[in-house]
Structure 1
Amino acid sequence: MKIIQITDTHFVPPGQRLYELDPRSRLDACIADINTHHRDAALCVITGDLAHRGETDAYIALRECLARLEIPLQLMIGNHDHRERFCKVFPETVLDDNGFVQSSRDTEAGRLLFLDTAQHARHTGHYCAERRQWLHRALGGASDKAVHVFMHHPPFDTGLPSCDVLSIENADELRSDLSTCPQLRHIFFGHVHRPVSGSWRGISFTTLRATAHQTLLDFEIEEELYFSHEPPAYAVILLEVDQCTVHFHDYSDDSPRIATGA
């Protein structure tokens, strides 16, 4: 099963730029590349921070852009998003019983869970009691299926102080919930704007660069003073019941292709 992950599109209203970049043109190029090379993918997941300031006009522009994507789409929200405005522009989005942007999909490779870690008007994440109850049911209902979890905020530190200070406030509770699932295979997240992989309690995890701006690779500074224009990327996830492989693709790369016999 092939899944495409995109993250942190940070759309702004038409005519605006963000950190001297045009988020729309970068996502346009991303979608064109996916349509060319990955029309066989079962799903495209965008792991939050869809709009930089959560503006309705930005979500409308995002919807227009995503209309060209030729594979099924799963949208998630992050700390830059506004849940109510997002839901008005994307009314088909599946919500849980409490109105959070959470859902699950059962697939040939197991159960996929999409968590809502955003809290209103704050950049740190939070996973409240209502959301945790939904997660308990979703994990419990997985039976013996493999489980793969997608979220915006990572549920643990990544070693980058500027991101770790904006983590989930009650991450210990979320980690406790996740640790009850012996079938949990992999955690995918956004928020970090950098390629990072590792394992937590034997469970692998990955994140990747945004389609918008990137975070500096700085292991000392907590306050973000600068962003970079490093190339955007998307991930190609190959899921099987007993294996998860993640490839990262810098889709804007136009470096020369040299023939093997040259």
Structure 2
Amino acid sequence: MKIIQVTDLHLVTPGDILCERDPLQNLRACIADINANHADAELVIFTGDLSDTGHEDSYRALASELEKLVPPYRLLLGNHDNRGAFLRVFNRVVPEDGFVQSVVDTAEGRLILLDTLSEGFVEGRLDEARQAWLKQRLDEAAGRPVFLFLHHPPFPIFLPLLDGLGLVEAEALHGLLREHGNVRHIFVGHAHRPVAGSWRGIPVSVIRGTNHQTALDFSPDRIMTTLEPPVYAVVFIDRDTVIAHFHDFLDRTAAYR
């Protein structure tokens, strides 16, 4: 199974610039590259911060571009998003208990897509209602592998200020995942960094966004923005492996035989 992960689009009003770049142009390039090289993907999952402003015009622009995407897709929300504005534009999305979250059952296991948006706050939340929803979805998947997608990392990446802006209820999440016992990977965004490792035995990965990035800076008192290349992930999953390739889709370096 091939899954594509895209994250942190940070769309603004079409024509506007963010961090010296046009987020909409970068999204167009990302979609074109996916269509050209990965039209066979089973699913494209966008893991939040679809918008930078939370305004409806940014979601309308996103909807227009997604009409061109060949594989099917699912959308998650991040801290920059506005749930109400999103649902007004993407009115075919059916909220689960009021949240933009869902499951996708595949031949390789269950994909669980979590809504960790807490509007007005940078950090993510998994309140009691969302914990209950997740527990039910995990219980339904008893005996099957689970792959979790969400915006906010529940684990530290050792960039001090970013670690304070992750998922608040990380311990509660871990308890639910431990109880299920067969969570094979956690995919997140939010940090705008390429990061891979494990959290209490569960493999994890983070990727860059499609516009601007976060500097690899371990200082305890600053977060710096960079113009490192945007990326999407090409993820291969089977019964034995989970492999994620981080693809710089704007790289025009010549390839030689």
Who is 1:249 aligned against? Answer: 247
Who is 2:33 aligned against? Answer: 33
> Which is further off, 157-166 or 46-55?
157-166
2:50 aligns to what SS in structure 1?
coil
Matches within 5 A, 1:55-204: 55-96=55-96, 98-204=97-203
> Which is further off, 27-36 or 238-247?
238-247
> Which is further off, 175-184 or 105-114?
175-184
State whether residues 5 and 236 of structure 1, in contact with CA within 8 Å, keep that contact through their aligned partners in structure 2: yes
Cα offset, 1:91, TM superposition: 1.3
Who is 2:48 aligned against? Answer: 48
| Amino-acid identity (%) | 46
1:34 aligns to what SS in structure 2?
helix
User: Are the structure 2 counterparts of residues 136 and 160 from structure 1 closer, same or farther at C-alpha, using a change threshold of 3 Å?
Assistant: same
Cα offset, 1:228, TM superposition: 0.8
Unpaired segments ≥5 residues, structure 1: none
1:196 aligned partner, one-letter code: V
1:146 aligned partner, one-letter code: P
CA deviation map 1:175-195 (0-9, x unaligned): 222221211100000001010
TM-score by length of 1: 0.95
State whether residues 142 and 180 of structure 2, in contact with CA within 8 Å, keep that contact through their aligned partners in structure 1: no
2:180 aligns to what SS in structure 1?
coil
User: Are the structure 2 counterparts of residues 60 and 39 from structure 1 closer, same or farther at C-alpha, using a change threshold of 3 Å?
Assistant: same
2:161 aligns to what SS in structure 1?
helix
> Which is further off, 36-45 or 215-224?
215-224
Structure 1 CA distance, aligned partners of 2:63 and 2:100?
17
2:244 aligned partner, one-letter code: V
CA RMSD of aligned residues (A): 1.0
Structure 2 CA distance, aligned partners of 1:120 and 1:193?
20
Structure 2 CA distance, aligned partners of 1:170 and 1:111?
22
Structure 2 CA distance, aligned partners of 1:132 and 1:229?
36
Structure 1 CA distance, aligned partners of 2:239 and 2:148?
14
Cα offset, 1:252, TM superposition: 0.5
State whether residues 23 and 212 of structure 1, in contact with CA within 8 Å, keep that contact through their aligned partners in structure 2: yes
Cα offset, 1:24, TM superposition: 0.6
Structure 2 CA distance, aligned partners of 1:201 and 1:169?
17
State whether residues 154 and 168 of structure 2, in contact with CA within 8 Å, keep that contact through their aligned partners in structure 1: no
State whether residues 76 and 151 of structure 2, in contact with CA within 8 Å, keep that contact through their aligned partners in structure 1: yes
State whether residues 75 and 93 of structure 1, in contact with CA within 8 Å, keep that contact through their aligned partners in structure 2: no
CA deviation map 1:22-56 (0-9, x unaligned): 00111111110100000110000000000001011
Structure 1 CA distance, aligned partners of 2:159 and 2:179?
27
Cα offset, 1:203, TM superposition: 1.1
Structure 2 CA distance, aligned partners of 1:110 and 1:142?
8
Structure 1 CA distance, aligned partners of 2:34 and 2:16?
25
Structure 1 CA distance, aligned partners of 2:163 and 2:253?
34
1:179 aligns to what SS in structure 2?
helix
